[in-house]
Amino acid sequence: MTIKQYLKLAWALTPFILVVLGLLSIVIAAFLVATALGWLILGLALIIIGYILSPKQDKSE
């Protein structure tokens, strides 16, 4: 792949990367408050990322 293709791919993935970094910052803040809260928020963040990455099915009838 050329540099231009890598830049195009990075630009296409920018929203997902920002969502992941935002969730990561929330998880780190939760761990700083309390360990149990951190694990809870980490689990929820992983569920959200899994939902985003899961294949979507057509809902057309």
| Structure-derived torsion over alpha carbons of residues 43, 48, 53, 58, reported in degrees to the nearest 10 | 130
Q: Which residue from 44, 4, 51 is spatially nearest to 24, judged by alpha carbons?
A: 44
Answer with the residue of higher pLDDT: 56 or 4. 4
- Written as six digits, the tokens of 58 are 């057509």
Whole-number pLDDT of residue 40: 93
Per-residue pLDDT tens digits for 4-30: 998 998 898 898 899 899 999 999 999
